[in-house]
Structure 1
Amino acid sequence: LSSVRVVVVGAGVVGFSTAVCIAESLPLCSVTLLAETFSPDTTSDGAAGILFSSTFPDISLERQKCWFKDSFDHLLAIAQSPHSSEAGVVLISGWQIFKEVPADKKPFWWDTVIGFRFMTDRELRRFPEYKFGQGFTTLKCECSSYLPWLEKRFRKAGGLVEKRKVNSLEDLSHHYDVIVNCSGLGSKLLAGDHKVYPVRGQVLKMEAPWLKHFIRDGDGKTYIFPGIHSVTVGGTRQVDDWRLQVDERDKESILARCSRLEPSLSSARVLSNWVGLRPGRRSPRVEKELVLLQGRRVPVVHNYGHGGLGVGLAWGTALDAFGLVRQCLHDMPLQAKL
C-alpha cells in the first residue's frame, strides 16, 4: 500500500503548524513542505508573536474562540515544558490600553488568557491620554526560534522539507494527492484570491532588557513587546502597501509613540529594523475545495489570510486544516489510496 502524498505550501508559522499536525497525526501519509523562503526570512519571523485576537466578520465566534484557545493551550504547554527556551515560547504580562472605552470591555478571549482584569485608576495614571485598560498574562512566541523548532519536530515525524518556489497548483497536481495551501500573501496568485492584500508592518528590535511588561495601544498600531533577546517596538498597519524597505519617517514615528508610553525607550539602542507584509483578508480562509488541475480534481485545503494574527491562531487553524485533510482522505476513492 503506497501512502497518500500530501504537500503543504508555505513555511511560515501557519504552514509549519499545519504540516506538523498532519505529519504527527497521519503517520501513514507522506507529507512534504515546500516553500521559497524559510526562517529567518518569513513574515512570521518579524512578528512580535504575542497572543490575543480581534474579531473576524465572516467566521462564527465559536470557531474563532476555538482557534484562539487551541493555539493558546498548545503554546502554554510548550512554555511550561523543558522546550520553552529552545522553542522561544514564554509567558508575558502587561497591559492593553485604550483612548476611548471600547464597546467590548471584555474581548471574546478574556477567559483564555490568564488573570484578565480591568486596569485600576492608579495603573492608568501612567498613561494620561488613555481612559481604559486591560491587564492580563498571555504568551509570546518568537518565530525565529519557534519555526526552526517546529521544522525539527516536523522532520522527526517523517516530514520532508524542500526549498523551491511554487508558481501554480498545477505544478503539484501530478505528484501529490492533497494540496494544503498556507502561502499567506502568496495566495493572491497561487489561489487567485483577490481578497488577499498586504498590510505593511514595520518594527524595530531594541535592546532594553529592563523592560518586562508589554504595552499595547488598543488600536494595534503602537506596541512594546519585550522578548527573550530584544524588545519588539512598533508599528505600522499600512493597507495595500507593498514597500519592503525601511521608512525613516515610520521609524521616527514608532520611536516617538513608544517613548511616550515607555519613556526609558529613548535611551535604548536600536538593534535592527524590519519590514514585513502581513497577509490581510477580511477573514482567514480555512476551507477545502476540489480544483480541476490538468484534467483531474485535486482536493486543496486552504489555510491563509490571518493578517497580523498568524502566530496567535496558527495552531487552531492548523488543527482545522488537518481535519479537512482527513476528510479529503476519507472521500478519496479506494484506488487513489492503493
Structure 2
Amino acid sequence: MSEDVTGTSAGAAVSDVIVVGGGVIGLTTAMVLARRGHRVRVWSAAPAAATTSAVAGALWWPYRIEPQDSVGDWSLTSLRWYEELAARPQETGVRLVDGLHRGERLASLGPWAGQLNGAVETAEGLRCRLPLLDMPVHLEWLEGRVGAAGGAVERRTVVSFDEAAAEAATVVNCTGLGARELVPDSGVRPVRGQLVLVENPGIEEWYTEADPASSETTYFFPQPGRLVLGGTAGADDWGTVPDPRTAQEIVARCARVRPEIAGARVIGHRVGLRPARDAGVRIEAEALPGGGRLVHNYGHGGAGVTVAVGCAQAAARLVG
C-alpha cells in the first residue's frame, strides 16, 4: 500500500493538477498525486489550521459514511498508512492508542472489521488499538509532504471550477461543504460537531459511545496537551459558535464515564461542520468545457480522516 502513496508510479504522465480544498482530503489527495509525478497546486481559501479538518477529534473509525461497499477498502488502506506513520508521532501527528468502543460488536460491523489487528470483544464493547491523529500537526505534515514532492499550497478563494480549469488540465474537487454551492450539489449538508478541550486529568485511553440515531455522542480522546471531549452530530445545523449549555452537557456525559473529567479545567471550545452528503462519498470524473477534467472527491462527513488515503488513491486513478 505505501508504495502507492509514497512512490511515483512507473510511467505516470506528468500533468498539471489543481486540487481545490486544503483540508485533510485535499492535502492527502495532493500528496498522492504529487508523488505520482503530477505538478500539483492546492488552492485553499483558509490555512489548514482553520479548516474543519483541524477541529476533528480524529480517531480512525468508519462512522456514518457511505457507500458501505467502498468504505471498508478506503478505510483499511488509510489504516495501514497511519500505522506506518505512527512510528514518527511527533513528526506526523499520528499515534496508535488503546481504547473502547462501548456497546460495539464485531458482528455488527462490515467485513473490514475482520482486518483489525488485536480487536477484542469484552462485556463493555470492543477494545482496539487505533490511530489517533493530532490534526494540526498532521495537516502541517501533509502540507510539508506536498511541498517536498514538488507541489505548492496557495491561499485562494474559488467561486467557480472554471478558474482552476483555466490554469490546469485537471481539477480535483476536495471542497467538502463548499461543494454544495460550487458543484452545485444540494445533497451536501453540514453535520455540526461541538467539542470541549480540557486539561487532561491523566486519561491515556480513548472512549466512544455512539447511537447513530442520536445527535448526541459521548467520547474523549487524549491528545498532546489536552483531552478532547465530545460531542454532537446536528444535521443541517450551520451554527459555528459554541453553545455553553451544549458544552456543559458534553462534559457531564464524559464525566459519567470518567468522573475526574468533571474537575478538569476547560481550555477551549471548538465547532466544526462535517461535510456530509445524502448519497455518500462522491468520487467520479466529468468533462469540463474546453477539454479539461473535473474529478470529485467530497462528501466524507465526519470520517474524512478515516478514508483520506483510500479516497485519495481512488481519485488519483481517475486523474490518470
Do both share a fold (TM > 0.5)? yes
Code of the residue aligned with 1:71 in structure 2: it is S
Q: Which residue of 2 aligns with 1:329?
A: none
Q: Given that residues 290 and 300 in structure 1 are in contact (C-alpha distance below 8 angstroms), is that contact kept between their aligned partners in structure 2?
A: yes
Amino acid at match of 2:29: T
Superimposed CA distance per residue, residues 88-118 of structure 1 (whole angstroms, 9 cap, x where no aligned partner): 10001111113xx779434433233331121
Whether 2:91 is the aligned partner of 1:86: answer yes
Please state if 1:49 is matched with 2:58.
yes
Query: Of residues 48, 65, 68 in structure 2, which corresponds to 1:39?
Result: 48
Paired position in structure 1 for 2:135: 143
Deviations 1:201-234 (A, max 9, x none): 1001111151011110032611111112211100
User: 1:88–1:228: 8 Å Cα contact kept in structure 2?
Assistant: no
What is the distance in 2 between the residues matched to 1:140 and 1:56?
A: 18
2:270 and 2:178 mapped to 1: Cα distance?
20
Gaps of 5+ in 1: 125-132, 327-338
| 1:22 Cα deviation from its structure 2 partner | 0.2
Q: How far, CA to CA, are the matches of 1:32 and 1:39 in structure 2?
A: 14
Residue 318 (structure 1) aligned to one of 291, 312, 319 = 312
Partner Cα separation in structure 1 for residue 64 and residue 47 of structure 2: 29
Question: Is residue 182 of structure 1 aligned with residue 174 of structure 2?
Answer: yes
Contact 2:15-2:39 within 8 A present in 1 as well: yes
Q: What code does the residue aligned with 2:114 have?
A: D
- Provide the secondary structure at the position in 1 that maps to 2:197: strand
1:210 aligns with 2:217: no
Aligned to 1:129: none
- CA pair 214-71 structure 1, distance change in 2 beyond 3 A: same
Letter in 2 for 1:201: G
Question: Aligned match of 2:192 in 177, 186, 200?
Answer: 200
Corresponding residue for residue 119 of structure 2? 116
Cα RMSD (Å) of the superposition?
Answer: 1.8
Deviation at 1:25, TM superposition (A): 1.1
Structure 1 position 22 matched with structure 2 position 33: yes
Q: Find the residue that maps to 1:308 and give its secondary structure.
A: coil
Q: Which position in structure 2 is the counterpart of 1:284? A: 281
CA contact (8 A) 1:8 1:32 kept: yes
Q: Is the 8 A contact 1:72 1:112 kept in 2?
A: no
Q: 2:8 maps to what in 1?
A: none
Select which of 65, 76, 85 maps to 1:69.
76
Report Cα offsets for 1:153-185 as digits up to 9, x if no partner: 110110011101011112122111000000000
Match of 2:224 among 222, 228, 232: 228
Q: Are the structure 2 counterparts of residues 206 and 113 from structure 1 closer, same or farther at C-alpha, using a change threshold of 3 Å? A: farther
Unaligned runs of 5+ in 2: 1-12
**8 Å CA contact retained: 2:58, 2:135:** yes
Shift, 1:321, TM fit: 0.7
CA distance in structure 2 between the partners assigned to 1:12 and 1:209 by the alignment: 30
Letter aligned with residue 116 of structure 1: A
Q: 2:300 aligns with which of 292, 306, 321?
A: 306
- Counterpart contact for 1:222–1:234, Cα < 8 Å: yes
User: Does the CA contact (< 8 Å) of 2:29 and 2:313 recur in 1?
Assistant: yes
2:168 paired with 1:163: no
Identity %: 34
**What is the CA distance between 1:60 and its match in structure 2?**
5.2
The structure with the largest alpha-carbon Rg is 1
- Give the residue type in structure 1 aligned to 2:281: P
